Each structure stands twice: as structure tokens, then as C-alpha cells.
Structure 1
């Protein structure tokens, strides 16, 4: 029992330290300081929240790892601004696209990771029992989150004017909002189709530990 708890604590400390180091590195000399702050704000909020809840409401290892990966995507986008991330230019050249597609990676993760967060909360709270209804509600939650983010981008555009261009990353695409939400939808569906089984096994293990008083 003690060994398992210690191992989990060490693993989470490593992830938190790595995320903090990457956050500092991304903010050292970002392309645009205001854009960086807006892009990494979810990371700044999530880190202390996860640190405060890991004992009384531990998440599955899968979810912790995916949150870390999502944070990396956000911090890279914040450091360069989404339209200027080097990886995006490589993908643009490889796929012969008309624009840097890195922001679509960000929106895919905006669907992929929140889908599993919503799934975990719904299942652990016994809020949903039917699998089809679970998938439907998880997808609806992801689309609501994506729409809310687009509202935030809209507000930023109104408040900052041309200064919001780096945050929006539309690159002249009139359908950017719709395609952002579509990629979030793809992420939500992909997460549920590929990781539901692994997620269920880890949730079952977490329940057994909670029942035995190990969490």
C-alpha cells in the first residue's frame, strides 16, 4: 500500500516538475507575452488544482499523462504563437497545406483530453450508466467547451482588435471557428474509440484501491 502510494507520488512530482520547467521555458522569451499568457493560462490554473486534489481525488495515470501532453501542446503554441510553431511549418510542407496547421493539433487535443476528463468524472460519480448515453454526453461536453473557447477568442478579438491576431491564429481562414470545433469533435471521438478500454481498466483499479482504503 505504502509503496504504491509513494510510487504514484513520485511519478506525479516528476510530471509536475517537468510541466513547471516547460512552462518557465516557454515563457522565457515568447513571441508575444500577452499571447503566451492567454495560451498557457489553462496550465497555470491546472497545475495547482491537480496538486491540491491528487490525494483526495486522484485521477487515473492515463489522464495525468494526457493532461501533461496537452499542457505541452499549449505551452509550445504559447511560446511561438500557434501560427509560427516550427512543427506546424514542417507539417505544412509535408502535407502541402496552405497554412500552419499547429492550431488544429491544439484543438484536437482540446477535444481528446477533456473527453476523458469528462468521462472519468461522469463514471466515477455514477452520473451515467448506459455506454451510448455516456459517449453522447461526453461529446456534448467537449463541444460545449470548444464553443466556450471560441467565445473567449471572440471576446479577445473585440477587446484587443488587431492585437488578438496572434491569439486567434486564424491565418486568414474565414472558417477557422468551425474547423476548430470540428477538430475538437474529432479529438473527442478518437479518445473514446481508442482509449475507452484502457480508461475503464484504470478506473476499475482506482475503485478497488479506494474501496480498500489505498487512495
Structure 2
């Protein structure tokens, strides 16, 4: 019998693919200590989505957007973000910095989309409050994660702490990461209000 991905089973197929992907990249990471620290939030978000699937099923667009960060961060955990083979982007931008983590932070903002979807479909708030809550939710997560990175770098020290922090020598790295998170949220909130109804989000 031929298997087919449909709108109904898309989240389940996506979850299965991610589970296999996660397992493969758990094999022999560059730094096991960094990998453990990096995949904790990934595992938490994934298990939370699995646990709440029957209670609230997001749209396929929302699951697809959330999956971008899950896959991206898993890759970063395997290689450490500063060492992901991503040189072609740096060359394209004329930069010596590895921007893999910047794109990862931008994808964190994608979670504003399902947050807005939850508020609208559950009728928890109107459009203005929903938009600002989605944006501020991402901004608070961004700031909180930068604090966790700093705390881990200080507590762990050594190479693992530096790799987890991932600043690559940029003293403004935390601020730029938070800006990337915020811009990702702004973009996806615009997509939600412009295309959400067409994509079946509301």
C-alpha cells in the first residue's frame, strides 16, 4: 500500500521525520556537552507539541514554521553553531562570521505565528492584543535565552561554554540575536494577518 502525505497526517509525518533526524544527529556530535545543552529546549518544545496535539491542533503552516527552528537548532547542536558548515553564506555576505545561528534566531520568531493562531481560534483576545502578545512573547523568550546562554557560559567555562554562547567574538552578539528573533516574529505576524485565512489558520 502506497503511503501518502496529506493535510490530515502532515503533523504526524513531520514529527516522525524530525524524530529520525534528531536521532541521527545525536550520534557523535562535535561536543557532547554542548549538544546536551542545545537540545534541551528542542526536546522540550517538541514534546510539548506532541503532548498538546489532541488538545489543540495548529494549522499545517504553523507546524511547518515551528519545525524550521526544531531542525535548524538540532543541526546547530550537532556541529555547535559557530562550526556548522555554512561558509558559502558567509562568503556571499562578505563576512567571516558564521551566520547559521542568526538564521536560527530569526526562525525563533516563527513561533509568533502559532501563538497568534492559538489566541484567535480560542478567542482569547482581539487582533491588536494578539499581535502584541505574539511579538512580546518572542522578545521575552529571546531575552531569557540570552541570559541562559550567559549563565551557562560562566558556569561551564572552557570551550563548551564559549561554543554554547556562540558570540564568535562579537560583543553585540546578544543584541543582534534578539533583533533577529524580533524580526522573525514581525515577519510571521504579518504573514498571519495577510495570509492566515487563506492558509487555514483561522
What TM-score, normalized to structure 2?
A: 0.89
Equivalence for 1:109: 107
After the TM superposition, which residues 166-205 of structure 1 pair with which residues of structure 2 at under 5 Å, given as runs? 166-201=163-198, 202-204=200-202
Equivalence for 2:57: 58
After superposition, the CA RMSD in angstroms is: 1.8
Say yes or no: does 1:90 pair with 2:88.
yes
Query: SS of the residue aligned with 2:9?
Result: helix
- CA shift for structure 1 position 8: 5.1
- How many Å separate the matches in 2 of 1:68 and 1:80? 19
- How many Å separate the matches in 1 of 2:178 and 2:46? 25
- How many Å separate the matches in 2 of 1:147 and 1:73? 19
Equivalence for 2:76: 77
Higher helix share goes to which structure?
A: 1
Equivalence for 1:211: none
Equivalence for 1:20: 19
- How many Å separate the matches in 2 of 1:22 and 1:196? 32
Extract structure 1 runs of 4+ deviating beyond 6 A. none
Query: SS of the residue aligned with 2:157?
Result: helix
Gaps of 5+ in 2: none
Query: SS of the residue aligned with 1:154?
Result: helix
